[in-house]
Amino acid sequence: MGRFVNTENKVVVSVADHKDKRFASPLWEAYTGSDSAPAAEGYEALTVPKLKAEIERRNADRDEADRVSSEGRKPDLVAALEADDKAGGGIVPTGH
């Protein structure tokens, strides 16, 4: 059974091997991590627009004081997401 992560909303799904080919698109990537948010190397692989989209997703239901900063260059965005993960804000749903 293969696992894939949606590059836009970070949802992880498990797929029967005979259906793996359905997930051959830029929207899906093979998932090799744990059931939590992508590790630092995962964020490094994302583009700036995808990093900002992840930050926007996380900030959607947060108070102004609790929001993840979307300012700065790529290293700043990666650091902000990593700090949010350590604080417990980047939990990714699985098994949908």
Please indicate, yes or no, if residue 62 is contained in any of the structural domains.
Answer: yes
Domain that holds residue 23: 2-86
pLDDT at residue 71 greater than cutoff 90: yes
On whether residue 29 sits in a domain, the answer given is yes
pTM: 0.52
d(CA 32, CA 57): 22
| pLDDT score for 96 | 38
Per-residue model confidence (pLDDT) at position 91 = 54
* Residue 77 located in a structural domain: yes
Question: Is residue 65 included in any domain, yes or no?
Answer: yes
Q: Is residue 30 part of a domain?
A: yes
Residues 4 and 96: their CA atoms lie apart, in Å, by 12
Whether 91 maps to a domain, the answer reads no
The rounded percent of the chain whose pLDDT value lies above 70 is 83
Number of domains, the chain: 1
Instruction: State residue 14 phi and psi, 5-degree precision.
Output: -100, 135
pLDDT digits (tens, 9 = 90+) for 19-51: 777 777 788 888 877 555 544 467 888 899 999
Phi-psi group of 66: left, alpha or beta (phi > 0 → left; psi -120 to 50 → alpha; rest → beta): alpha
